[in-house]
Amino acid sequence: MLVRKNFSEADEVRTVPHGRLEIAQLPGQTLARAVLEPGWKWSVDMKPIAHTDSCEIVHTAYVVSGRMHVRMNDGAEIDLAAGDAHYIGAGHDAWVVGDEPIVVLDIIGAEQIAEVTAATEASATA
């Protein structure tokens, strides 16, 4: 089997405050490309959607462009930039650094992100 998806024709596009999530469904795997604008911060923009104090999704991802700062609940911090492959455990806040958007390809964690944002969209239209 061969399957090709292009994020310019994503299966789903979800608008979130200060950004968007482009979802590609592949057999056995969901991928998400997040495009987050300057000013995006998880604890401000996503906390009301997720209904948790910090992001509880585990991410294995790759930064395509831009920069982000991540702070774990235990105080550990890291800066991420274009070219960085990374793992972020559950229990964190994150925000865009600088004046350009960050583009992140989420490999592990994408399905949970899609579920959280879908639930929010469903409740907003009900």
| Domains present along the chain, CATH in parentheses | 7-121 (2.60.120.10)
Q: Determine the Cα–Cα distance for residues 109 and 39; give it in Å rounded to an integer.
A: 22
pLDDT tens, residue by residue, 98-110: 999 999 999 987 7
pLDDT tens, residue by residue, 7-46: 999 999 999 999 999 999 999 999 999 999 999 999 999 9
pTM: predicted TM-score of the whole model, two decimal places: 0.87
Q: Determine the Cα–Cα distance for residues 27 and 56; give it in Å rounded to an integer.
A: 25
Neighbours of 6 (CB within 10 A): 8
Contact assessment for residue 42 and residue 60, using Cβ atoms and an 8 Å cutoff: no
